[in-house]
Amino acid sequence: MSKILVTGGCGYIGSHTIVDLVENGFDVISVDNNSRSNPHILDGVEKITGKKIKNYKVDLCNYDDLFAIFQENEDVIGIIHFAAYKSVGESVKKPLMYFENNLTSLINLLKCVKEFGTPYFVFSSSCTVYGNPDHVPVTESTPPRAAESAYGYTKQMGEQIINEFAKSSGTQSILLRYFNPVGAHPSCLIGEMPVGKPENLVPVITQTAIGKMAKMNVYGDDYPTRDGSCVRDYIHVCDIAHAHTLALQYLEEERNNGLCEVFNLGTGNGVTVLEAIKAFEKISGVPLNYSIDSRRPGDVIAIYANNDLARKVLGWNPQFSLDEMMATAWKWEQKLHTDEKLLKKQDPDLN
């Protein structure tokens, strides 16, 4: 069985990708320091796949600790690199923390890849590299614009670092540009677990609907879009996950053309914030308490993907509809809420 090292395997997209990799015959280990993730998410992965996934609780910024993991797992043939700080808002307030963490961890990882001759490398990139595009949908050759945040710059720089590294090392690399990952595994055994108050739209919607948040804001309805709110390409996390499996199979079967290829992972459908809210209300039957607030600094007006390349080259075919994204996200939020109530009953001291 081909062995894959997944960094950030206890995270939202990492855990869903591990499920898909295992279901497609890969052996997987995770490296995650759990600074922004919950190790118990791997219990859910085990319940779904029947496989216990080993997580090395190590900070990728510690080169010696990371090197030791590679020494212990010389049979690893591929890396999927998710681990990074990812809050746009936080990165605007703390840019150095973002550059230090996201770039040091990537460079340490690539140094190990070179040292151990790991053949394949898949990078978690983002549509944020496009900045505010002039035209939509964006293709992989749409020129990246100035990023709107330090987070966005770490993704742009990450892509450039990997590109240069691949040319010099011969490591077969793929950059996957996610649009907006949302939803949860249909089993409801894993899903998004935001640390602290969420920033992203769908967890804000579900926490408002369940009553964890009294109300939510729509950041601007005066944009030049069909209803005045921003347009995004929401994509189910399981569709994102499966793209990683396809990318590794593409590399293993040596079908790749070149040392560093880029693929957009979006549905190709632009959805406004207000349309996303309406879709949630329709699916859940829960009217959302929201008000229109001023624009959020750093937001792009409209972006959605041209996903032809991933469809044609990787054979990727996103399965989940917007309604299913909202339904799985809502089901997961309700489960989390029940579990929290159960935990409180078992231990009333839990605040």
Q: Restricting to residues 225-284, name those near ligand WQD by CB under 6 A.
A: 230, 232, 273
Select the residue interacting with ligand WQD from 3, 51, 296, 335 (CB under 6 A).
296
Nearest to 309 by CA among 77, 134, 132, 142: 142
Site for ligand WQD in 117-146 (CB under 6 A): 126, 128
Number of chain residues interacting with ligand WQD (CB under 6 A): 19
Of 63, 99, 116, 219, the residue at the interface with ligand WQD (CB under 6 A) is 219
Our finding on whether 299 is near ligand WQD (CB under 6 A) is yes
Give min distance, CB of 4 to ligand WQD, in A: 21
Least distance in angstroms from the C-beta of 47 to ligand WQD: 25
Q: Is 326 in the site for ligand WQD (CB under 6 A)?
A: no
Q: Is 321 in the site for ligand WQD (CB under 6 A)?
A: no
Give yes or no for residue 200 binding ligand WQD (CB under 6 A).
yes
Helix ranges (DSSP H) in the chain:
12-23, 41-49, 63-72, 88-93, 95-116, 150-169, 201-210, 237-252, 273-284, 308-309, 322-346
250 is catalytic: no
C-alpha torsion sign, points 96, 98, 101, 102: negative
Considering only 10, 21, 110, 218, the residue that binds ligand WQD (CB under 6 A) is 218
Annotated catalytic residue, options 56, 98, 151, 223: 151
Mention every residue, 6+ apart, whose C-beta is less than 8 A from residue 279.
271, 322, 323, 326
Q: What distance separates the 2 farthest-apart alpha carbons in the chain? A: 58
Q: What is the x/- site pattern for ligand WQD, positions 85-114, by CB under 6 A?
A: -x-x--------------------------
Q: Which is nearer to ligand WQD, 101 or 128 (CB)?
A: 128
Question: Residue 65 Cβ, how far from ligand WQD at the closest point, in Å?
Answer: 25
For ligand WQD, which is the closer residue by CB, 127 or 259?
127
Instruction: Count Cβ atoms below 10 Å from residue 256 Cβ, excluding itself.
Output: 18
Stretch that binds ligand WQD, among 96-104, 161-169, 196-204, 238-246 (CB under 6 A): 196-204
Beta-carbon count within 10 A of 52 CB: 10
Q: At what angle do helices 201-210 and 322-346 cross, to 10 degrees?
A: 50
Angle at 204 between CA 39 and CA 103, to 5 degrees: 55
Distances (CA, A) of 46 to 19, 28, 107, 195, 262: 8, 12, 31, 22, 31
Q: Minimum distance between the CB of residue 319 and ligand WQD, rounded to whole angstroms? A: 20
Q: Which residue is nearest to ligand WQD (CB)?
A: 230
Minimum CB distance to ligand WQD, residue 75 (Å) = 30
CB neighbour list of residue 60: distance below 8 Å, 6 or more residues apart: 7, 31, 33, 66, 83, 104, 105, 108, 109
> Is residue 305 at the binding interface for ligand WQD, with CB under 6 A as the rule?
no
**Residue 319 per-residue DSSP state:** -
**177 close to 140: Cβ distance less than 8 angstroms:** yes
Residues serving a catalytic function are: 151
Q: Which residues of the shown chain bind ligand WQD in the complex (CB under 6 A)? A: 86, 88, 126, 128, 180-181, 199-201, 204, 216-219, 230, 232, 273, 296, 299
